[in-house]
Amino acid sequence: MILSTTPTTSVVAGAGSGKSTTMVLRLLLLNHYLGVDFSSLTVVTFTKESKHDFAGKVREVFGKWGRTISEEESLDIVRTFHSRILAFTRSIKGLEKVRAFEFLDNKNDEDEKDGSMLNVKLKSEQLDLMNRCYHELYAGNAVFKELIGHLVRRSIILEQLD
């Protein structure tokens, strides 16, 4: 994986198998030895906690090679799925200032949600917006209403899982 010749590399392995160390060593090879700029490198992880852990490992390993990397630099390399998708979206003309739905509030911070991207807690304003959208679609769109009916019927006949 460290010497892979493909521009993107995915690592799937069990806990404690050395994924993070291997990926940091790939970053070291690309940046330190091959001169690839940090702005061209991205590591995508699942949670904010794993992002910070991995960024710390990047700083630690690069430090052993005499290269000091700031916390900000390391956090620019390591992204969660949330922040990566948001960056892709913002690269589209006209969507440069778009904000993720999870951040729909009066604050202007771009801090990422803690935990899994599948475990999002919506605020009451967001729930109200989602409910209004659902009711409008259900009342005014026959295809949507039919699909919801199909989902309800399927959920009734499915076995309950533990």
What ranges make up the beta strands (E) of 9-161?
43-45, 78-80
pLDDT (mean) for 52-57: 93
Round the average pLDDT of the chain to a whole number and report it: 82
Helices 142-157 and 124-140 sit at what angle, rounded to 10 degrees?
110
How far apart CA 97 and CA 88 sit, in angstroms, is: 12
Is residue 111 in some structural domain?
A: no
Count up the domains in the chain and report the number.
Answer: 2
Confidence band, pLDDT 50/70/90 cuts, at residue 65 = very high
Residue 137 shares a structural domain with residue 91? no
Domain residues for the domain of 73 are 1-101
pTM: 0.57
Residue 86 shares a structural domain with residue 13? yes
Residue 68 shares a structural domain with residue 136? no
How confident is the model over 8-19, as pLDDT tens digits?
Answer: 877 788 888 988
How far apart CA 69 and CA 58 sit, in angstroms, is: 8
How confident is the model over 76-126, as pLDDT tens digits?
Answer: 899 888 788 888 888 888 888 877 665 444 554 444 444 444 555 667 887
Is residue 51 in some structural domain?
A: yes
53: CATH: 3.40.50.300
